[in-house]
Chains A and B, each alone.
Chain A
Amino acid sequence: MTNTALQVTGVTKYFGGLAALDGVEAAIDAGKISAIIGPNGAGKTTLFNLITGVYPFTVGEISYQGTSLKKLPAHKRTQMGIARTFQNILLFPHMTCLENVMVGQHTRSRYGFFEAALRLPKSRKEEEAVNLKAMKYLNLAGLGMKAEQDAMSLPLGQQKLLAVARALASEPSLLLLDEPGAGLNKLEKMELSDLIRRIREMGITVLLVEHDMELVMGLAEWIFVLDSGKKIAEGTASQIQRDPKVISAYLGEEVEYVES
């Protein structure tokens, strides 16, 4: 028996008159790599935003390890072990790579205003620990050499890896990755796959939104397919590839690509 880490039940989210999500059900298994795929505008990012508390939702329920997330503010969900990356990366500019990852450690150190202002020993000890941990996650993403560089000076591929390292630094049990492969070249995508597998080996549940089918099919043990806010299929890679509903949803998208 596998147990469910994240349970999404009947979640519906309207933006104005548009249902970005419509009665979505999903059970994400603990310790596995799962993926959400679907055409542009299917509601994938919206689902991430509801899980992490960027937007509130009223209809349906999302629970993590049996606890409802509905009323928790975003920052408390991090403390419960949920971390994410963003489709548009959102690194912190004017901060080095190391500092970016150190922010990720925010919930893992406690000292506050007072200890910081007076530089009490507690603050210095914790700072050292944070620094070491951050270096560890930077190295994990292969960016140890870039520690002192400004985050925004990295090429896109490394920025994406840095965002993963930053999220990992919060020491999550569930990691949500929103299109980590977008804009990466072949080699970078291989490195990314490798990193994601290592994250899984660390015992972290991974939920991935991705358009690159090769990447998804190679990594994901379970795949959910969204289209226009509805879940139209779920299953293993081979089940999904044969599903006529999925094929027609993607055929529709390919026509759009040709037009644009």
Chain B
Amino acid sequence: MMNVERLQRFNWRPVAIGFLLVLLLLMPFNWFMGQYTTLLVFIGLHTMVTVGLCLLLGYTGQVSLGQAAFYGLGAYFSAVLSKTYGVNPWLAMIIGAIATGTFAYVIAYPIFRLKGNYLAMATLGLGIIMYVLFRQMAQYTGGPDGMGGIPQLAIGSFVFDTPFKRYYLVWFFCLSILLLSQNIVNSRTGRALRAIHGSEAASASLGINVAQFKMKIFVLAAVYASLAGSLFVHHLSFVNPQPFGFLGSVMIVVMAVVGGLASIWGAIFGAAMVRILSDELLLRFGELDIVIYGLILMLVMIFTPEGLFVRLKSYYRRWQTGRLGEVEL
């Protein structure tokens, strides 16, 4: 009896997170998964964007089909400021995050007067407008052909000049964001967000400033995406509008859904699944990729609306308690 209780009370969470950390630490080495370092960098970047959407959509219940726009804003702020105007890349990144956050703040109040499908349409429109701007403002952005020669990030004389080094930089940012988000979710703020998801009327009746919380989380998600965009352009030293269009936004939604909308750590899983799919498999399907994303979205929503990652976790739990049951007998 004692033993069973101890087993049940044993908290696997730190073990799982420790395992993940060791894995992340070792993956870019050549004897492990070195040939996939670039893919792993992209997974980290997309995880950052996805966590923002999880907070917004999964926790607060507010859909956005335009998250790639903020990703793109960060990317272009960093690219243009550091390349064209010679601003220090770190400073450019901060300016980009502030500007993108301010932009999100300004559009938050009008956009969140809308709900449900209307909100989806509005954010979709936002994404399309930004994409067109990235393409059309060619004298700044290089237009559809993009711009290259973007300087690399450095700390003193240490330059992040190889994918190996940038991998650690990106995952440092990514894990910090995951940790901050995890803390936010398990707090007064996180409760308020979930309450808003449950019932806006009841939330307001308990003193929650619904509009303000929606705005704050929208801004936070935009800043996450902007930081990811900045890291993205310094990783590639190149930027074009392609990742920041409608398909880009759809990918982010699929990542969030696959990882589990209301699961912070699931974002890594979702981003990894979709990136592996898009970088390693979907290349063969050409333009059909959007169809496949649509299909995944439909299948996940129909069969595991809580997300694939969350479902696997609950299977594991059930298997574990099943085992415990046997022990008890």
Chain A residues within CB distance 8 Å of chain B: 52-54, 73-76, 78-79, 83-84, 86, 90-95, 99, 102-104, 106-107, 109, 111-113, 116-119, 123, 126-127, 130, 166-167, 169-170
6 nearest interchain CB pairs? A78-B207, A116-B187, A92-B198, A107-B207, A74-B204, A90-B202
- Report B-chain residues with C-beta under 8 Å of the C-beta of A95: 191, 194-195, 198
CB-CB under 8 A for A53 and B208, given A90-B199, A95-B194: no
Q: In the complex, how many angstroms separate the beta carbon of A189 from the nearest chain B beta carbon? A: 23
- Report B-chain residues with C-beta under 8 Å of the C-beta of A116: 183-184, 186-190
Q: Is the CB of A117 within 8 A of B191?
A: no
- Give the CA-CA distance A53 to B207 in the complex, in Å: 11
Within 8 Å by CB of A103, from B192, B210, B220, lies B192
- Report B-chain residues with C-beta under 8 Å of the C-beta of A167: 205-206
Q: In the complex, how many angstroms separate the beta carbon of A96 from the nearest chain B beta carbon? A: 11
How many A-B pairs fall under 8 Å by CB? 102
Looking at chain B's contact residues, the main secondary structure is helix
- Give the CA-CA distance A128 to B202 in the complex, in Å: 23
Interface presence of B201 (CB below 8 A): yes
Q: In the complex, how many angstroms separate the beta carbon of B130 from the nearest chain A beta carbon? A: 26
Q: Is the CB of A170 within 8 A of B206?
A: yes
Q: Is the CB of B183 within 8 A of A107?
A: no
Within 8 Å by CB of A123, from B187, B207, B220, B262, lies B187
Q: Is the CB of A106 within 8 A of B201?
A: no
- Give the CA-CA distance A109 to B184 in the complex, in Å: 15
Q: In the complex, how many angstroms separate the beta carbon of A79 from the nearest chain B beta carbon? A: 6
Within 8 Å by CB of A112, from B189, B203, B207, lies B189
Sample of 10 further A-B pairs with CB below 8 A, known A78-B207, A103-B191: A74-B205, A75-B210, A86-B202, A91-B199, A95-B198, A103-B208, A113-B189, A116-B186, A118-B183, A167-B205
Query: Among residues 12 to 50 in chain B, which have CB atoms less than 8 Å away from a CB atom of chain A?
Result: none
Q: Is the CB of A78 within 8 A of B184?
A: no
Interface presence of B180 (CB below 8 A): yes
Q: Is the CB of A75 within 8 A of B204?
A: yes
Within 8 Å by CB of A106, from B183, B184, B208, lies B208
